[in-house]
């Protein structure tokens, strides 16, 4: 009782074709195919970008000796 027979599927397909028509369904399938092609092209573009050699790492030169700073006594908690 829970499964659909072949006649149920034929009726469902006939109703869908009557509601949407052949033209709308073929247009929809064409749009889906274009979307899949665009997705695949985007994935290929991403993999090509990943294969490019990376730019050399840029470093920032800094002084090795830190500048002397005055000790602050007003910071921190007071010892009890």
18-49: per-residue pLDDT in tens? 888 877 878 888 899 999 999 999 888 877 76
pLDDT-derived band of residue 51, with 50, 70 and 90 as boundaries? low
Asked if residue 33 is part of any domain, the answer here is yes
Asked if residue 37 is part of any domain, the answer here is yes
8 Å CB contact between 32 and 24 = no
Mean pLDDT for the stretch of residues 57-73: 66
Which residue did the predictor score with more confidence, 67 or 3? 3
Which residue did the predictor score with more confidence, 3 or 79? 3
Q: Cα–Cα distance between 8 and 3 in angstroms, integer?
A: 10
Asked if residue 63 is part of any domain, the answer here is no
pLDDT for residue 72: 60
Cα 15 to Cα 12, 25, 46, 65: the distances in Å are 5, 13, 42, 82
pLDDT for residue 34: 94
Domain enclosing residue 38, as ranges: 21-49
pTM (two decimals): 0.39
User: DSSP 3-state assignment of 53?
Assistant: coil
What's the structural domain count of the chain? 1
């Amino acid at each position: 009782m829970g499964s659909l027979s072949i006649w149920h599927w034929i009726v469902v397909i006939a109703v869908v074709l009557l509601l949407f028509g052949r033209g709308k369904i073929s247009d929809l399938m064409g749009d889906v195919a274009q979307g899949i092609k665009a997705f695949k092209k985007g994935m290929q573009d991403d993999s090509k970008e990943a294969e490019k050699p990376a730019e050399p790492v840029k470093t920032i030169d800094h002084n090795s000796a830190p500048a002397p700073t005055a000790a602050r006594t007003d910071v921190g908690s007071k010892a009890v």
